[in-house]
């Protein structure tokens, strides 16, 4: 027998209050941790996927949409730009690298990106097996694509038009797998990379099939790409290049960092709201634990006085109450963690299939400790409030009132 | 050994002053203190157990003047040397019978010996409720458990406050006999404070407040 055991028995003897305390505290812990985890995942994902991209040049439209489409591969592109125009910008002295990308097709939901060999360098992606692309209709798979679709080098598949999986509009040309990238934990893991010619070939032939005259005319003017991913030679380019493009060409230049920060501000309001709800529930749980402990102290005043006659010191009784709070806190943390994990699992099951992207990150240790600290303070506060009657207790009066 | 010397107490709230007679018990000697309600019986018992602090006077148990030592020392002394029996409440509600006795030993910093617990429960005829929760016990069983709680740690003195007032004649006699027997077994002084005249015949030594 020791103080811990007595505390545990006390808790067991009032199951409803204990359950309520644990449940409410667990809920607030799950919410607070969940928000931090989502926030961290969002931030990480965005920054990670930026790679070395300082600027995205694409068709006029929403800059956020252009970034989402070209950098995070989450949205439809704003339109196409002429490859010739893009090439002109690549030659600017401000530009270190400029990677053209072009897309519009998918295979089983995974986007097919037509680009150059430079693209992989943006993400530091190296070939795990196979070789680089040498000619049109050859593809290299991101690690997750290869794993999920069980494709090997030498396999051939048919792409379908658009960015969402469909059987309605399948291109007749086979794409052949020639390589697989190593896992990078970046967006490239979920892409199918090919060269620009593959995209042009597929769509060119198609256009010939379908709308002969109109499109022929259009295509003669020059090849098109979706956007150009630019990294600067020096930060000073930030001031001049985007404005020049936006003012003097029919293209737009969007700064991914700026746009994503904007997006992050929108989503940040949501995170903050949930955080505040979490803190509110934490306060409620603090009150619940306090009431539960205080009730025990008040209702069991005689028991506590008896313990004193058994030789227990005031300090031992205070420890007993404190341990009860800690046990509740421990189970709440445990339960909160389980609630969080299952909640996020089901939440992200839907997101993953939608965006073909697993964006969940681990909770940063610092945030974890911060929430843990707040919870411990909550418990200490409830315990301090609850032990007040013990300090004030008059054993003699309590014992005399037994009848 | 119990010695009470010119003990006085004052209740500020009720403005009542108590002056208690001197008592001296040699080792193993028992005493019945009789008195009407409100005469200060419980006050005296709490003074003896060090739960209340007197205005003046001394309470010496086993050679220790209990009101001259520090609070933590008094807590420890009480736990190790004094056994208390109350009228109705006898044990901690959230613990079962055996856990209560283990807790009692733990708090008085004595080794927890389950064999001696079993032996005591057998003697008090409550072995069968060893694992029962407190609120399932009958009045008689509870009172026996109360005795067990007061003697399990082999105290120097056992103080009983109205131990029989809620019991019928038969149980009343049994409980007092058990108390006297247990006190004798542990060679402790037994002091029973009561208004219950039924038990007067069971004590050779008694005073009236």
A309/B51 CB distance under 8 A = yes
Task: Locate B60 and state its tokens.
Answer: 């010496």
Nearest chain A residue (CA) to B41: A400
Q: At what angle do helices B169-185 and B139-151 cross, to 10 degrees?
A: 10
Asked if ipTM goes beyond 0.95, one says no
Residue A13 is nearest to which of B86, B93, B103, comparing CB atoms?
B93
Cα distance between residue A290 and residue A378, in whole Å: 10
- pLDDT of A397: 83
The answer to whether B100 contacts chain A (CB < 8 Å) is no
- pLDDT of A356: 47
- pLDDT of A353: 55
Q: Mean pLDDT, to the nearest integer, of B162-191?
A: 88
How many angstroms separate the CA of residue B89 from the nearest CA in chain A?
A: 7
The answer to whether B23 and B4 have CB atoms below 8 angstroms apart is yes
Closest listed residue to residue A51, CA positions, set A125, A102, A113, A110:
A125
Cα distance between residue B133 and residue B91, in whole Å: 10
- pLDDT of B128: 92
The answer to whether A8 contacts chain B (CB < 8 Å) is no
B82/A309 CB distance under 8 A = yes
User: Which residues are bridge partners to B189 per DSSP?
Assistant: B157
Mutate which: B75, B81, B102, B135, vs A, most A CBs within 10 A: B75
How many angstroms separate the CA of residue B203 from the nearest CA in chain A?
A: 25
Question: For B151-164, how does the pLDDT look when each residue is reduced to its tens digit (9 = 90+)?
Answer: 999 899 999 988 88
Nearest chain B residue (CA) to A399: B86
A9/B95 CB distance under 8 A = yes
Give B58: exposed, middle or buried? Use CB within 10 Å, 0-12, 13-18, 19+.
middle
- pLDDT of A220: 39
- pLDDT of A351: 63
Residue B86 is nearest to which of A312, A313, A402, comparing CB atoms?
A402
Place of tokens 């306060």: A283
Residue B46 is nearest to which of A306, A396, A403, comparing CB atoms?
A396
Residue A1 is nearest to which of B80, B88, B102, comparing CB atoms?
B102
- pLDDT of B106: 92
A402/B88 CB distance under 8 A = yes
The answer to whether A398 contacts chain B (CB < 8 Å) is no
Domains of chain B: 2-208 (3.40.50.300)
The helix (H) or strand (E) run that includes residue A179 is strand A170-181
Residue A302 is nearest to which of B78, B79, B89, comparing CB atoms?
B89
Residues of B in contact with A12 (CB under 8 A): 94
Task: Locate A397 and state its tokens.
Answer: 């009066």
Residues of chain A with pLDDT under 70: 163-164, 166-168, 204-221, 350-360, 402-403
CA dihedral sign of residues A212, A218, A222, A224: negative
B99/A1 CB distance under 8 A = yes
- pLDDT of A221: 53
Task: Locate B191 and state its tokens.
Answer: 């002091």
User: Which residues are bridge partners to B61 per DSSP?
Assistant: B2, B64
């Amino acid at each position: 027998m020791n103080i811990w055991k007595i505390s545990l028995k006390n808790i067991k003897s009032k199951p409803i209050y204990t359950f309520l305390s644990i449940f409410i505290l667990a809920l607030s812990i799950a919410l607070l941790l969940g928000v931090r985890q989502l926030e961290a995942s969002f931030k990480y994902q965005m920054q990670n996927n930026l790679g070395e991209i300082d600027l995205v040049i694409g068709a006029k439209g929403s800059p956020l949409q252009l970034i989402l489409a070209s950098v995070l591969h989450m949205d439809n592109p704003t339109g196409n730009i002429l490859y010739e125009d893009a090439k002109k910008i690549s030659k600017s002295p401000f530009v270190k690298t400029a990677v053209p990308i072009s897309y519009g097709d998918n295979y089983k939901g995974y986007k097919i990106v037509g680009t150059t060999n430079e693209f992989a360098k943006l993400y530091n992606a190296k070939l795990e097996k196979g070789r680089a692309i040498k000619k049109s209709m050859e593809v290299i798979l991101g690690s997750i694509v290869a794993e999920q679709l069980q494709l090997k080098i030498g396999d051939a598949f048919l792409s379908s038009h658009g960015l969402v999986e469909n059987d309605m509009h399948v291109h007749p040309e086979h794409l052949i797998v020639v390589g697989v990238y190593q896992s990078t934990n970046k967006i490239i893991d979920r892409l199918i990379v090919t060269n620009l010619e593959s995209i042009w070939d597929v769509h060119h032939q198609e256009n010939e099939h379908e709308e002969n005259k109109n499109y022929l005319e259009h295509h003669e003017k020059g090849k098109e790409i979706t956007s150009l991913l630019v990294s600067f030679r020096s930060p000073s380019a930030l001031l001049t290049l985007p404005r020049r493009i936006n003012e003097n060409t029919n293209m737009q230049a969007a700064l991914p960092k700026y746009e994503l920060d904007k997006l992050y501000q929108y989503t940040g309001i949501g995170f903050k709201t949930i955080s505040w709800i979490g803190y509110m529930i934490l306060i409620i749980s603090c009150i619940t634990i306090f009431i539960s402990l205080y009730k025990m102290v008040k209702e069991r005043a005689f028991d506590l006085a008896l313990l004193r006659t058994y030789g227990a010191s005031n300090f031992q009784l205070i420890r007993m109450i404190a341990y009860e709070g800690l046990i509740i806190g421990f189970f709440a943390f445990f339960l909160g963690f389980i609630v969080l994990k299952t909640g996020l699992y089901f939440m992200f099951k839907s997101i993953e299939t939608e965006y073909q992207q697993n964006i969940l990150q681990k909770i940063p240790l610092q945030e974890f400790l911060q929430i843990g600290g707040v919870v411990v303070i909550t418990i200490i506060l409830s315990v301090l409030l609850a032990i007040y009657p013990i300090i004030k207790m008059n054993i003699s009066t309590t014992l005399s009132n037994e009848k | 050994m119990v010695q009470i010397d010119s003990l006085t107490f004052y209740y500020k709230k009720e403005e009542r002053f108590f002056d208690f007679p001197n008592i001296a018990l040699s080792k193993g000697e028992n005493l019945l203190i009789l008195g009407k309600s409100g005469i200060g019986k419980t006050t005296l018992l709490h003074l003896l157990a060090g739960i209340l602090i007197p205005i003046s006077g001394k309470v010496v148990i086993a050679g220790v003047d209990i009101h001259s030592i520090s609070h933590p020392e008094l807590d420890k002394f009480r736990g190790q040397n004094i056994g208390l029996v109350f009228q109705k409440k006898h044990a901690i509600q959230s613990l079962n019978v055996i856990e209560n006795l283990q807790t009692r030993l733990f708090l008085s910093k004595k080794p927890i010996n389950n064999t001696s617990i079993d032996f005591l429960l057998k003697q008090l005829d409550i072995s069968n409720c060893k694992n029962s929760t407190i609120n399932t016990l009958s009045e008689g069983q509870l009172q026996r458990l109360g005795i067990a709680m007061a003697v399990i740690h082999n105290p120097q003195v056992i103080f009983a406050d109205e131990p029989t007032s809620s019991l019928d004649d038969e149980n009343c006699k049994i409980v007092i006999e058990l108390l006297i027997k247990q006190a004798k077994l542990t060679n402790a002084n037994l002091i029973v404070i009561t208004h219950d005249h039924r038990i007067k015949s069971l004590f050779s030594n008694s005073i009236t407040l």
